[in-house]
């Protein structure tokens, strides 16, 4: 049995540079790995995918990125996925799971990894990097130790709808701005996100940032001493705070 780590990724900033003729969006962003990690137990003699953790909605069929990553590298294995990174929150949990399999199999090119999703090339590299294009251009940057407080919500934001809303805003003449060009679009797609961001901003001011297309939010630094996680009731449901740190690339 081989144990693999799959760290969450955090999009530190995100700029949408252009929309291509094929409908994909090119980005320029900084991504960092976090000490918030799924674990994969890989049995090289097996042929199964099992899930342990609180997220029963994660598919375990051919659509799961672990299954797709195994198919991509032409390998079979039994994989038990111990999942703590919430799906659909913009932290790249599924992409990092796939990247862990790619690293285990010896790695693939960024272009091949990108066929599984735009975050997979970075997750295969990890650490801290400038990510450009549709995710295939990854330039490693020197590691910087940073404290981070994640704000995890009990709903997600549909990424496809977020980019559609972004395009509609641009067509109306609005210019993307701020640290995350998708924030205005994400708030349109999921009004509960905007309500929660405004609620947090009343206490934390402009320290609250959107991670990717959401729904995860984050604050630079730690908000409490001596505690890792806590929950409060926000205006649109339960809000979990999780304090973590950035981590170097996996060995």
What's the CATH number of domain 147-247, 3.90.1170.50, 3.30.70.890, 3.40.50.2300, 3.20.190.10?
3.30.70.890
The yes or no reply on domain 2-140 and CATH 3.30.1460.30 is no
Helix and strand numbers (H, E) in the chain are 7, 11
- Tens digits of per-residue pLDDT, 158-178? 999 999 999 999 999 998 889
Do the Cβ atoms of 242 and 150 come closer than 8 Å? Answer: yes
**Which residue shows structure tokens 């701005």?**
177
Residue 54: predicted pLDDT: 84
Gap between the Cα atoms of 188 and 31, Å rounded: 24
Do the Cβ atoms of 129 and 140 come closer than 8 Å? Answer: yes
Residue positions annotated with a catalytic role: 9, 119
Do the Cβ atoms of 77 and 44 come closer than 8 Å? Answer: yes
Domain ranges of the chain: 2-140, 147-247
In this chain, the answer to whether the domains covering 2-140 and 147-247 adopt an identical fold is: no
Q: Strands 208-210 and 229-234, how do they pair?
A: unpaired
Mean pLDDT in each 10-residue stretch from start to end of the chain (251 residues)?
Answer: 96 96 95 98 96 82 94 97 92 96 97 96 98 97 98 93 96 93 96 97 95 95 95 95 95 64
Max Cα-Cα span within the chain: 56
DSSP string, 17-59: EEE-TTS-EEEEEEEEEEEEEEEEEEETT--EEEEESS-TTS-
Residue 134: predicted pLDDT: 96
Residue 251: predicted pLDDT: 64
Q: Strands 128-133 and 217-220, how do they pair?
A: unpaired
């Amino acid at each position: 049995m081989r144990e693999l780590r799959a760290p969450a990724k955090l999009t530190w900033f995100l700029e949408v540079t252009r929309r291509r003729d094929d409908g994909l969006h090119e980005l320029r962003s900084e991504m960092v790995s976090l000490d918030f990690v799924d674990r994969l137990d890989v049995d090289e003699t097996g042929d199964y995918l099992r899930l342990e953790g609180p997220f029963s909605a994660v598919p375990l069929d051919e659509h799961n990125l672990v299954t797709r990553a195994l198919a991509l590298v032409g390998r079979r294995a039994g994989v038990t996925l111990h999942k703590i990174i919430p799906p659909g929150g913009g932290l790249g949990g599924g992409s990092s799971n796939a990247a862990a399999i790619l690293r285990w199999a010896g790695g693939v090119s960024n272009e091949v990894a990108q066929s599984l999703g735009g975050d997979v090339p970075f997750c295969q590299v990890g650490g801290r990097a400038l990510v450009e294009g549709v995710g295939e251009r990854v330039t490693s940057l020197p590691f910087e130790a940073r404290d981070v407080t994640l704000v995890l919500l009990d709903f997600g934001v549909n990424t496809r709808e977020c980019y559609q809303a972004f395009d509609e805003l641009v067509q109306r003449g609005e210019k993307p701005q701020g640290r995350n060009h998708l924030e205005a679009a994400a708030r349109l797609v999921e009004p509960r996100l905007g309500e929660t961001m405004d609620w947090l901003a009343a206490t934390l001011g402009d320290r609250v940032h959107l991670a990717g297309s959401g729904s995860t939010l984050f604050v630079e630094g730690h908000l409490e001493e001596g505690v890792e996680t806590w929950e409060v009731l926000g205006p649109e449901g339960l809000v979990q705070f999780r304090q973590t740190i950035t981590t170097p690339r996996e060995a």
